[in-house]
Structure 1
Amino acid sequence: MSISWRKQGGALTRGVDLRGNALVISIPGLYFVYAQVTFYNSSCPDNRSFLSHNLHKLSTSYRGRLTLLSSMASTCQDKHHADPWFDTSYHGAAFKLAKGDQIFSVVSPGAVAYVNSEAENTYFGLFALSRSPPP
């Protein structure tokens, strides 16, 4: 399930747009893609939940969604039931991206309720390492 991302200030690099919940590449090149999601709750739920965080790519060059990076955690690891808990998932890596590629940062449906949406705790972006010259 997608987290609702929003653009803050001049956060996007030239050649990248935020459309829907995807970063869309308009200038091909090598990009460093990063995302952090912080999961939090003031107490442990009755049943332990598994929380996944994934970076996916949709491309015009093939069908389907490709998982680039993935992680999994669970709620309340070794915590007392009434204690607050948190877990952070961070992904970052360099990828060669083509014009029209779309990058998504998503969490599992059960994890959305635990996402701490404060900007310093949960974020998603990329920056160019090198760009392909125009044809």
Structure 2
Amino acid sequence: MKMKKSFKRYNRLLWKIEFLSLFHFKQKAIELLLKHLKQHEYPIEIEASGLVRLGHLYVDLKDFEQAAEIYHKAYLLAQELEFRYNSTEKEILSIFQKAGRHDLYAYWYEDFLNRAKYDKRFKKLQRK
């Protein structure tokens, strides 16, 4: 029951953030998301998802360094989980490069490729 309640609360928060972003209040959306993540306890999956969304907001503001730090924090939080591949991983790797964080790029590139053991779609990230 607690997970269901957390999920509903998180979905309401995402709706508010998307609304703010739509009307170019990205900094306000960032503040709301940070405040909410500090005030509420969420399961790891939801907290990591919230941090990834926060990273996306920083990317929208062209603050690639901050986005890279947030993405790193999100993936560290979820590192032990078997999450499924989606195109976000490829985008995040490019943000690490834009931020000049080649250390994070190399670390997460290897981690993502190792995840092909349980989800073959991670192989899409392999350099050609």
Global fold match (TM > 0.5) = no
Task: Compute the TM-score of the two structures, normalised by the length of structure 1.
Answer: 0.24
Task: Compute the TM-score of the two structures, normalised by the length of structure 2.
Answer: 0.25
Structure having the higher strand fraction is 1
Q: Whose relative contact order is higher, 1 or 2, with alpha carbons under 8 Å and at least 6 apart?
A: 1
